[in-house]
Amino acid sequence: MVNSLLADAELRLQQALKYVNLSDDAIESLKYPKASLTVSIPVRMDDGSLKVFQGYRVRYDDSRGPGKGGVRYHPNVTLDEVQSLAFWMTFKCAVLNLPFGGAKGGITVNPKELSRLELERLSRGYIDAIADFIGPDVDSLAPDVYTNSMIMGWMMDQYSIIRRQSMPGVVTGKPISMGGSLGRETATAMGTFFAIEAILPKFDMQPQNTTIAVQGFGNAGATIADLLFKAGYRVVAVSDSKGGIYSDQGLDIPSIRQFKNSSREIKAVYCHDSVCSVAPHDVITNEELLALDVDVLCPAALENQITEANAHQVRAKLIFELANGPINFAADAILEQKGIYVFPDILVNAGGVTVSYFEWVQNRNGMYWTLGEVNQSLQRKMVEETEQIWTIAQQNSVSLRMAAYIHALHRLGEAIDAKGTRSYYNAH
């Protein structure tokens, strides 16, 4: 498949390998996912009918530790997409120096069409189907697109029922009452915020003079827009799947969030109204938002939003990828040619998996952290790795994405080589 997301991701890997002295063993190990599982999930619908959904779980690499990655519910979920996301998770965990390998899961479903009871039956059915494939020391799940803490709670509960013991570490992003971590709901956006705050001074950008557009107004997009607004930045545009709004004077993000939250059928998951209908601002499309003349663009929706078809129209000075894979390989080259700095997903949105790691640690030792401790630890890790990647990019005269891959490859290579390499076995 020409447009395979996994193939796209592997092109970046091949490019990064030129800058890293990696053993042949390590390169060979990273070519393919370690294990891919496809399952059928029969669900009894509210009307009595039986519907079968396709579910997936992929462990890409576990050389640095157990698999870690979210589960997304979306009509477009495919095995290829899940493999790609697991690949990215492998690098994301390595970039943040977490003791995890990369994994991902998903179900091909439009969750907005399901009742709460159907959603619960689907979520528990998914765990029934993949229970032998996961575990706190094997592969730990987390929320992703259209899944939330409630769904994670069902999944953890179902796994514990199957194992006949409490197993909180099999899932992160759970409700606080079930062993979840404070700060997990906002972790992805909070991590992005710390990265933005670390970078913008390098470009002499002050909050009050910096314009920002956010594509996607789900959990991550809405939270980053809110954090930036409260820090004094001028958020001039936001959008959701139905379209967006723009005001060059800046938007009142808290009021937009309030409106959107009040119009949801299920709190914090599904929205039936668009941000477009909030207030009398200029109505714009998602395509127009991506082409706005702003200082910072934050794509926080789905993958492949900026491609060779529209990359020439992008005018932002800096792009911070909150979504996974919002810019494809061909578009990267165009943006680089235009002098646009792209801060990659495997760094920028890694706050979620970092706090998932904190939750996993808390579950294992039974000691739980305050919100201040969580955010402080997150800030330290995000700033540290952002600075390292910035330095690698400057030293090697490469893009920030390339620098992040180089950074991750060093760590992955060390872990794989520690198990023995050709040179070790051929030595006399």
**398-407, pLDDT tens digit by residue?**
999 999 999 9
Give the number of other CB atoms < 10 A from CB of residue 162: 15
- Mean pLDDT computed over every residue of the chain: 89
Please report the pLDDT score of residue 281 as a whole number: 67
DSSP string, 9-52: HHHHHHHHHTTS---HHHHHHTSS-SEEEEEEEEEE-TTS-EEE
* Domains in the chain, CATH or no CATH each: 34-178 (3.40.50.10860), 187-348 (3.40.50.720)
Q: Report the sign of the C-alpha dihedral through residues 125, 129, 134, 139, in that order.
A: negative
Strands across the sheet with 243-246, in order?
282-284, 243-246, 234-240, 211-215, 296-299, 318-320, 341-343
Supply angle C-alpha 269, 128, 36, rounded to 5: 85
Q: Who's near 28: CB < 8 A, 6+ residues apart?
A: none
Residue 362 pLDDT greater than 80, yes or no = yes
Mean predicted confidence (pLDDT) in 339-346? 94
Of the chain, the percentage scoring pLDDT greater than 70 comes to 92
Q: Are 212 and 206 in contact (CB under 8 A)?
A: no
Residue range 356-363: mean pLDDT, rounded: 96
How confident is the model at residue 263, as a pLDDT?
55
Catalytic residues: 104
* pTM (two decimals): 0.86
Kindly state the average pLDDT of the residues 225-244: 91
Q: Concatenated DSSP letters for 340-374?
A: -EEE-HHHHTTHHHHHHHHHHHHHHH-----HHHH
pLDDT of 268 reads 29
Q: What is the pLDDT of residue 292?
A: 93
CA distances (Å), origin 314, targets 205, 287, 303: 19, 10, 16
Which residues on neighbouring strands pair with residue 319, listed in sequence order? 297, 342
Residue-wise pLDDT for 59-75, tens only, equals: 999 999 999 999 999 99
Confidence of residue 428 (pLDDT cuts 50, 70, 90): low
**Tens digits of residue pLDDT in 200-219:** 999 999 999 999 999 998 88
Q: How confident is the model at residue 272, as a pLDDT?
A: 42
* E strand or H helix that includes residue 53: strand 50-61
CB 216 within 8 A of CB 300: yes
What is the pLDDT, as a whole number, of residue 276? Answer: 43
pLDDT, position 120: 97
Tens of pLDDT, residue by residue over 3-55, are 466 677 778 888 888 888 888 888 888 888 999 999 999 999 999 999 999 99
Q: What angle do CA 350, 354, 359 make, to 5 degrees?
A: 145
SS3 of residue 327 by DSSP: strand
